[in-house]
Amino acid sequence: MTSLPVIQPPLRSAVPLDQLARRMRLRGESALRPLGLRPRHLVTLSVLQEQGEVTQQALAASLQLDSTNVVGVLNELESDGLVTRRRDANDRRRHIVELTEAGRERLAQAEFALAAVEDDVLRALDPDQRRQLAELLHVAAAGCLAADYAATCLPPHES
């Protein structure tokens, strides 16, 4: 059996990252359930809070979901009074989506519940370590997004 050359020993971070992600996801889903939210609802509400009112098509692009899935999520959120949709006055074919006051309140409750989950899951870390972990995860995620964008959205480099 031949062995592959190793330039640098692996950090072996995949397993603990996966364990933390699973624990965070399961506990997060449990914390959101009493609020009538699922993770996809939370992400949608968060994007709407960040971006303000947007077209349904722009929201689908931000969420990286196809329009059929976005319609389903928005139907659920709208039936709970958390978002509103209206026709665009300039283009009646488009819908404008906006977070309602009830949506802002529910999002705040969800963020509070998820902060408690994070405190529990990351209890072994002190506040400085938590900040450092968050910063590093944001850098790593941004790097992945940039690489994904470059791989799928930019034209191939021509010599």
- Residue 102's pLDDT is 98
| Each residue's pLDDT tens digit, 124-155 | 999 999 999 999 999 988 888 776 656 655 55
Q: 3-state DSSP call for residue 107?
A: helix
Mean pLDDT score, 24-47: 96
Give the residue among 110, 85, 100 at the shortest CA–CA distance from 49: 100
- Residue 104's pLDDT is 98
- Please tell me the pTM assigned to this model: 0.78
Q: Whole-angstrom Cα distance, residue 153 to residue 16? A: 31
Tell me which of 11-20, 64-73, 110-119 is least confident.
Answer: 11-20
**CATH class for the domain made up of 14-151:** mainly alpha
Helix 14-32 to helix 39-51 angle (10° resolution) is 90
Give 96's strand partners.
55, 86
Give 85's strand partners.
97
Q: Whole-angstrom Cα distance, residue 107 to residue 60? A: 19
Domain range list for the chain: 14-151
Cβ atoms 54, 96 nearer than 8 A: yes
- Residue 148's pLDDT is 64
| Each residue's pLDDT tens digit, 37-96 | 999 999 999 999 999 999 999 999 999 888 899 999 999 999 999 999 999 888 888 899
Q: Which amino acid would we find at residue 150?
A: A
